[in-house]
Structure 1
Amino acid sequence: MIESKKRWRLTTPDEQLVQDIQKELNISSVLAKILVTRGLTTTESARTFMEMDVKGFHDPYLMKDMNIAVERIRTAIDKQENIVVYGDYDADGVTSTTVMMTVLEDLGAKVSFMIPNRFKHGYGPNTELFQQAFDNGTKLIVTVDNGISGIEQVEFANRLGMDVIISDHHDIGEQLPDALAVVHPRHPEGNYPFGELAGVGVAFKIAHALYEELPDHLIELTAIGTVADLVPLHGENRLFVKEGLAALVDSPRPAISALCEVSGIKQQDITEETLGFMFGPRINAIGRLQDAAPAVQLFLTDDSVEARSLASGLDVLNKERQAIVKQITEEAMQQVEQRYPNGVPRVLVVAQEGWNPGVVGIVASKLTEKFYRPSIVLSLNPETGKAKGSARSIDGFHLYNELAKNRNILPHFGGHPMAAGMTLEANDVDELRERLIEQAANLTEEDLLPVVDIDIPLQLDEIDITAIESMRLLAPFGMGFAKPKFYLEGVHVSSIRKIGAAQNHLKMELTQHAATLDAVGFGLGSVGDELTPNVKIDVIGDLQVNEWNGRKKPQLMVEDVRTDQWQLFDIRGIRQVSRWSKLIPNEHQVFLAFKEETPALFQSFLPEKICTLDQLDNLTENVYHLVLLDLPESEEQLAEVLGKLQPKRIYAHFHAKDSQYFEQIPTREQFKWLFGFIKKRGSFDFTKNCDELAKHKGWTRESLFFMLQVFFELGFVTLNNGITEIAQSPSKQDLSEAPIYKQREQQVALEQKLLYASFKDLKEWFDAKVSAKEEEIWI
């Protein structure tokens, strides 16, 4: 048995709907299952989803205050008033700023941009920067990807005589800023058809209205910001990314080729994963460590040399960010392990001076990923006495609501169910930790097991190159439309081996009926020690095409494995105990010895771990891992042990000090000759002549002694001080009636079945015993 590392939540699509869509659209069953599982259950909705194009973009003037914003911007352009685009320091903010700067410059505006410094100004509108803009003669401020919470700052700008246009997508509070226009897809007085745009999507809408036509050249920037900001990829967001990816592969923008160069990819190979895992982190890195303005300059420049220089700078900062995150993560992990050596609590709160507050959110994510606990990571500032940081949560623990219960020690916090940011007094960190641990007491053990949602169950014969490659028809994948997670049930492991320099990866061949599939599990090398040949497993993962020397093959990238089948591990003949003892999991293990002399043989290798038959009744916990150190006295004895313990894994060592298998049982002709020899001589001195007779006949001393013992037990001979003589009137009996003969027969048969059988035959023997006992239990 192997338990999965995560909780599997499986969704099974309606098979009839799958068949209907597969037939109507002439697509693979794999694609049809994905569509149905994602709620596209009619042919029309599935076709519309797959064939969406720019006609699906909504009229920007459907957004509340769009007409006011456009009119004011055009007035500012006509009058050549100074305009400031006020952005944000993340990838969404950077691309939003670039989009707005591009359209305003194209239309002849007198425009510049400002992005607050994360450490000096914090997030969103800042009165100091607004004052600076005013001092530079600014008449109009247009925010992008921020501003909806800037109540006081907008009022400050109004008093200075500046107009402010807010364009944002973040959650709206109880009060709107008193801005000239608030362009927001979820404006409480608006009725825009799609409310989940990223900040860059809102900026694109304003650009669309200003250009009076769809700005195709800005879709690529909108795609980058949309993916990086993790907004749901459906509706217009999906359209932005789909069209943007098509534009990116041919984009003449120097920033794109420069980012591809530092990311080590070809521009024609750009996918949504490129944006999320390569471009996004590099753009975000600069805002986490310093001023984000160079990132905007990168996207605005037409100079390829400057673009390469700026992209290289982002890459260097990203590597610095990675190093900082690595160091803080190690220190945070060390804190957790030192504070909780006997098991982590239900909530983790760690804090330390000198931690960069710009990256603690990433560290919190890593803690949550490692321990699957709500995690808060705080940077302590000894000068201000404050603790500032970020939090990440798990299903079942609504982070914002739980933090809200501590408002008296959390003067500044914000977020949503799964993530939050906060500032509090450093002296209150311990109190917050204790409170949150207490608040999380209702989390069950199941809640604390990571969850993975699986939506596509497959049979192996459904998987081929065409089906996998056709999945790009459903791209882009991301938030709200996740990359499919595939589930294979009851597949056989026909071969398995550990790979990699450290043997920490896994390579398997899976079979089901006549179909086969290669599978690779990175970081799952240890599972190789837990699987035995031909075991049936359930496995989840991602399907990919593996191309080598021009040959393509389907391949499953394994994420998790489980099996309910018991397993037999063959460690017979491995004399070095250290070679196999380390493979036995420490919990719920029993090293069983059937014979009295066996514990002494293994005591130095397995101290205080060996159990004898008479100690089995004293076991207080379930036995998952049973190691059979030696041979039982009989099959029945072993079957009784298996029935009593019901182990999930059996490790067969079967040490046999005096194996009888290769001695075999002497033939009846040998017995007949020996009896006639003694009868003819009248007596035989075993002590003196045994070795000479054995050598003469080519027998072993042990075989000769065994035959004499059989004769003695049957009353055929007498033994007196080593002298053997024929008994007076011996009764007729079959040799097999002698107890020692029966014992030898049983021993040879037992060794043949357990010690010298092939793995296949041994497994079948155990299967029969285990299956019979399971049937007994169910009956």
Structure 2
Amino acid sequence: MVMTTKRWRIEKPDETIVKTFQKELNIPSISAKILAARGFDTVESARAFLNIDEKSIHDPFLLHGMQQAVDRIHQAINNDEKILVYGDYDADGITSTSVMMTVLRDLGANAAHKIPNRFTDGYGPNERLFREAHSNGFQLIITVDNGISGNHEVQVAKELGMDVIVTDHHEIGEELPPADVIIHPRHPEGNYPYGELAGVGVAFKVAHALYGDYPKHLLEFVAIGTVADLVPLLDENRYLVKQGILALQKSSRPSIKALSTVTSTKQNEITEETIGFSFGPRLNALGRLGDANPGVDFLLEEDQASATTMANLLNDKNKERQGIVSDITEQAVAMVENIDEISNSQVLVIAEEGWNPGVVGIVASRLVEKYYKPTIILCIDTEKGIAKGSARSIEGFNMYQELAKNREILPAFGGHPMAAGMTLAMEDVDELRERLNQQARACLTEDDLIPILQVDIPLKIDEIDTDSIAEVRELAPFGMSFSKPIYGIEDVHIQSMRKIGANEDHMKMEIGQPNATIDAVGFHKGYLVDELTYGINVSFAGDLQINEWNGRKKPQFMISDVRTDEWQLFDLRGIRQVARWLQTVPVEEATFIAFKPDTMQFYESLIPKQIIPYSDELVIENVSPYIVLLDMPQDVHNLEALLSSVKPTRVYAHFYIPDSHYFDGMPTREQFGWYYTFLNKRREFHLRQHLNDLAKHKGWSRDMLIFMTEVFFELGFVTIENGLAKIVEDAPKKQLTSAVAYKKRTQQMDLEQTLLYAPYKDLREWFDARLTAQTVSEEEQ
């Protein structure tokens, strides 16, 4: 049994809807299943989604205040007023600033940009920076991707005589800032058709209104900012990103070409995943480590050599960020592993002085992945006496609501169910941990602390081909509210499997169902080759990919998780080198069992774990569900009793025997007869001196002659003394089969045939019959 560490939730799309979509939309079953799983239930809604076009772009003047904003900006341009574009330090903020700077420059504005420093200025409008802008002669401030919560700072700007236009998409508080104009897709006095634009989407709408025409040349920025900010990829966002990705693939911008080069991306193959995992993190790295303003300069750079230099800077910053994240994660993990009050808590609250506050959210996510517990990572500032950080949560624990129960020790916090940020007094960190732990114990069950794998597109292998995989890309982009599918292939058989890679870290398989097979690859899953066996039903979760090699294209399943509920038999028979088979056994989890004392003596120095001798009094509590059968039982009933008691989920069958009789066979009656006649004629025979010569003369094995002599001895046909065998005169007639040695050899040969020399399939069936019988018996009770 392979025990996945996750709870699989396998969703089954409505088959009627799937078949209707296939027929009416002329799409493969995989695409139809994805649409059904994403909530589309009519052909009309699915067709509209598939055929999204420029009609999805809403009139920018539907945004409340847009006309006033456009009038004020044109007035500033006409009067040569200095305009400050005030952005945010993440990828959405950088691209928003780039969009606004582009349109202002194109219209001849006297404009500059400013992005606050995360560490010295904090998030959003900053009074010091606004006063500095005033002293530098700026008359109009346009915020992008921030400002909706900057009530005090906007008031200061107004008092200084500057006008302020706020463009933002974040949550609106109870009171709006006193800006001259607020452009927000969810403005309480507005009725804009779509409220989930990213900050760059709002800036793009302003640019659209200022140009008076749809600014396609800004779509690259919109795609980067929208994907990186994790807003829903539906409605207008979906069209903007879809078109933006196409623009990125063909872009002549030096910055995009440089980003593609530095990330080893083929520009014509850019996707939303390229943005999310390559472009976005490099832009974000600037703001996480310090000044994000160079990000805007980079995106707007017109010289290729300069853009390449700046792209390398972004890459270096990202590597630096990765190193910092790794260091803090390592320290945080060490604290979880070594500090009881942290490790024993249902909510991990970890604080340390000197940690970079720009990356603690990433660290919190890493720990949630590792421990699957709600996690808060805090940076302690001893000079200010505060702890500041980020939280990430799991399903079932609403982080925002649980933090809200502790307002008296959380003077500043915000967020949503799965993520939050906060500031508190450093002396209250332990108190917060204790409170949240108690709250978690009240609302989280043991199952809640097992990570969930949502398998939402179950497939049969015969549905999968290169054409259907290619058509799935027509549904892209995937992201928030239209998540990338996780495919499941249930109850397949492994046709072949092997470890691949220089260090054999990875795995390649062929898996099959009746009449269909597919190649499957598991990166960093080479260990599964030692945990999976043939002949069982296995389920796989993962992604689909087209593998192209030497001009030939084949579908390929990329494995993310594996599950089987069946017991497994691992065949270690005949492998003499202990080190070779021992490395395939999970030693710490397994119980090594020996039926014979000689086996224990033989292996005790070779196996780094205690060997348990089999006996009728074996304490089952000491036996794990992973058992290693080192040798053959003396009686098959011993093994059957063991299986009945332990009910193993894994059986490692080694069945070592020092001397096998199976291939020697049982001497025939003629052989017994000849040997008895030979002894009778000689009357006595010196075994030690002449046995080898007799074996050579007859072409028999020495062991066979010793066995026949033992049978004669047990039946009273001969006596043996000091190696001399003598015929017993007038010995009573007895059946050869009545000798104990004869019975033991027969039993041993039968056991060897059943357990040691049987084909794997037959051996598994033997075990399966006994383990299945136990299960049926238990169900009947």
Fold-level similarity (TM above 0.5): yes
Q: CA deviation at 1:331?
A: 2.1
Match of 1:552, SS state, is strand
CA change 1:678–1:304 in 2 (3 A) is closer
Q: CA deviation at 1:681?
A: 4.5
- Give the whole-Å Cα distance in 2 for the aligned partners of 1:344 and 1:216: 54
Matches within 5 A, 1:462-501: 462-501=463-502
The one-letter code of the counterpart of 2:745 is: R
**In the alignment, is residue 30 of structure 1 matched against residue 40 of structure 2?**
no
- Give the whole-Å Cα distance in 2 for the aligned partners of 1:266 and 1:490: 37
Q: CA deviation at 1:560?
A: 0.4
Matches within 5 A, 1:305-454: 305-340=305-340, 345-442=345-442, 443-454=444-455
- Give the whole-Å Cα distance in 2 for the aligned partners of 1:304 and 1:645: 69
* Range 247-256 or range 190-199, more displaced: 247-256
**In structure 1, what is the equivalent of residue 238 of structure 2?**
238
**In the alignment, is residue 667 of structure 1 matched against residue 671 of structure 2?**
no
Match of 2:448, SS state, is coil
- Give the whole-Å Cα distance in 2 for the aligned partners of 1:305 and 1:592: 69
CA change 1:621–1:400 in 2 (3 A) is farther
**In the alignment, is residue 619 of structure 1 matched against residue 604 of structure 2?**
no
Q: Deviations over 1:200-249 (max 9, x none)?
A: 11111112222222111112211110001011111111111001111122
Matches within 5 A, 1:668-707: 668-682=669-683, 690-707=691-708
The one-letter code of the counterpart of 1:758 is: P
**In structure 1, what is the equivalent of residue 218 of structure 2?**
218
Q: Deviations over 1:394-424 (max 9, x none)?
A: 1122112222222222222221111122222
CA change 1:681–1:254 in 2 (3 A) is closer
Q: Which runs of 5+ in 1 are unaligned?
A: none
- Give the whole-Å Cα distance in 1 for the aligned partners of 2:688 and 2:185: 105
- Give the whole-Å Cα distance in 2 for the aligned partners of 1:482 and 1:56: 20
Matches within 5 A, 1:186-201: 186-201=186-201
Q: CA deviation at 1:654?
A: 1.1
Q: CA deviation at 1:714?
A: 4.4
The RMSD of aligned alpha carbons is: 2.3
Contact 1:510 1:516 in 2 (8 A): yes
CA change 1:305–1:723 in 2 (3 A) is closer
Q: CA deviation at 1:193?
A: 1.6
The one-letter code of the counterpart of 1:709 is: E
The one-letter code of the counterpart of 2:517 is: T
CA change 1:657–1:643 in 2 (3 A) is same
CA change 1:454–1:90 in 2 (3 A) is same
- Give the whole-Å Cα distance in 2 for the aligned partners of 1:219 and 1:738: 92
* Range 98-107 or range 713-722, more displaced: 713-722
Count, aligned residues: 778
- Give the whole-Å Cα distance in 2 for the aligned partners of 1:533 and 1:608: 27
Match of 1:620, SS state, is helix
Q: CA deviation at 1:707?
A: 2.1
Q: CA deviation at 1:679?
A: 3.8
**In structure 1, what is the equivalent of residue 750 of structure 2?**
749
**In structure 1, what is the equivalent of residue 572 of structure 2?**
571
Where has structure 1 moved over 6 Å in runs of 4 or more?
A: 718-721
The one-letter code of the counterpart of 1:725 is: I
Match of 1:58, SS state, is coil
**In structure 2, what is the equivalent of residue 548 of structure 1?**
549
- Give the whole-Å Cα distance in 1 for the aligned partners of 2:35 and 2:440: 37
**In structure 1, what is the equivalent of residue 108 of structure 2?**
108
- Give the whole-Å Cα distance in 2 for the aligned partners of 1:582 and 1:157: 69
**In structure 2, what is the equivalent of residue 534 of structure 1?**
535
CA change 1:181–1:671 in 2 (3 A) is same
**In structure 1, what is the equivalent of residue 726 of structure 2?**
724
Match of 1:591, SS state, is strand
- Give the whole-Å Cα distance in 1 for the aligned partners of 2:35 and 2:290: 43
CA change 1:47–1:293 in 2 (3 A) is same
**In structure 2, what is the equivalent of residue 642 of structure 1?**
643
Contact 1:220 1:244 in 2 (8 A): yes
Contact 2:630 2:655 in 1 (8 A): yes
**In structure 2, what is the equivalent of residue 182 of structure 1?**
182
CA change 1:616–1:457 in 2 (3 A) is farther
CA change 1:624–1:729 in 2 (3 A) is closer
- Give the whole-Å Cα distance in 2 for the aligned partners of 1:723 and 1:622: 47
Q: CA deviation at 1:250?
A: 1.7
- Give the whole-Å Cα distance in 1 for the aligned partners of 2:341 and 2:203: 50
Matches within 5 A, 1:83-162: 83-162=83-162
* Range 476-485 or range 632-641, more displaced: 632-641
- Give the whole-Å Cα distance in 2 for the aligned partners of 1:647 and 1:488: 26
Contact 1:168 1:184 in 2 (8 A): yes
Contact 2:368 2:374 in 1 (8 A): yes
CA change 1:273–1:638 in 2 (3 A) is same
- Give the whole-Å Cα distance in 2 for the aligned partners of 1:175 and 1:615: 78
Contact 2:718 2:725 in 1 (8 A): no
Contact 1:87 1:97 in 2 (8 A): yes
Contact 1:145 1:167 in 2 (8 A): yes
- Give the whole-Å Cα distance in 2 for the aligned partners of 1:566 and 1:324: 43
**In structure 2, what is the equivalent of residue 10 of structure 1?**
10
The one-letter code of the counterpart of 1:105 is: R
Q: Deviations over 1:236-273 (max 9, x none)?
A: 11111001111122222222112212222222121111
**In structure 1, what is the equivalent of residue 520 of structure 2?**
519
Q: CA deviation at 1:569?
A: 1.1
CA change 1:602–1:615 in 2 (3 A) is farther
- Give the whole-Å Cα distance in 2 for the aligned partners of 1:749 and 1:153: 90
The one-letter code of the counterpart of 2:167 is: S
- Give the whole-Å Cα distance in 2 for the aligned partners of 1:309 and 1:530: 48
CA change 1:343–1:2 in 2 (3 A) is farther
Q: Which runs of 5+ in 2 are unaligned?
A: none
Match of 1:233, SS state, is coil
- Give the whole-Å Cα distance in 1 for the aligned partners of 2:549 and 2:586: 37
Matches within 5 A, 1:284-303: 284-303=284-303
CA change 1:320–1:715 in 2 (3 A) is closer
Contact 1:686 1:724 in 2 (8 A): no
CA change 1:693–1:222 in 2 (3 A) is closer
The one-letter code of the counterpart of 2:466 is: I
Match of 2:575, SS state, is coil
Contact 2:538 2:563 in 1 (8 A): yes
**In the alignment, is residue 460 of structure 1 matched against residue 468 of structure 2?**
no
- Give the whole-Å Cα distance in 2 for the aligned partners of 1:497 and 1:440: 43
Q: CA deviation at 1:680?
A: 3.9
CA change 1:688–1:123 in 2 (3 A) is closer
- Give the whole-Å Cα distance in 2 for the aligned partners of 1:560 and 1:446: 18
CA change 1:708–1:262 in 2 (3 A) is closer
The one-letter code of the counterpart of 1:440 is: A
**In structure 2, what is the equivalent of residue 72 of structure 1?**
72
CA change 1:694–1:116 in 2 (3 A) is closer
Match of 1:249, SS state, is helix
Q: CA deviation at 1:695?
A: 4.2
- Give the whole-Å Cα distance in 2 for the aligned partners of 1:313 and 1:688: 88
The one-letter code of the counterpart of 2:241 is: V
Contact 2:355 2:379 in 1 (8 A): yes
Q: CA deviation at 1:726?
A: 4.9
* Range 655-664 or range 692-701, more displaced: 692-701
Contact 2:631 2:657 in 1 (8 A): yes
The one-letter code of the counterpart of 2:84 is: V
- Give the whole-Å Cα distance in 2 for the aligned partners of 1:344 and 1:496: 40
Contact 1:146 1:170 in 2 (8 A): yes
- Give the whole-Å Cα distance in 1 for the aligned partners of 2:742 and 2:631: 22
The one-letter code of the counterpart of 1:724 is: K
* Range 569-578 or range 30-39, more displaced: 569-578
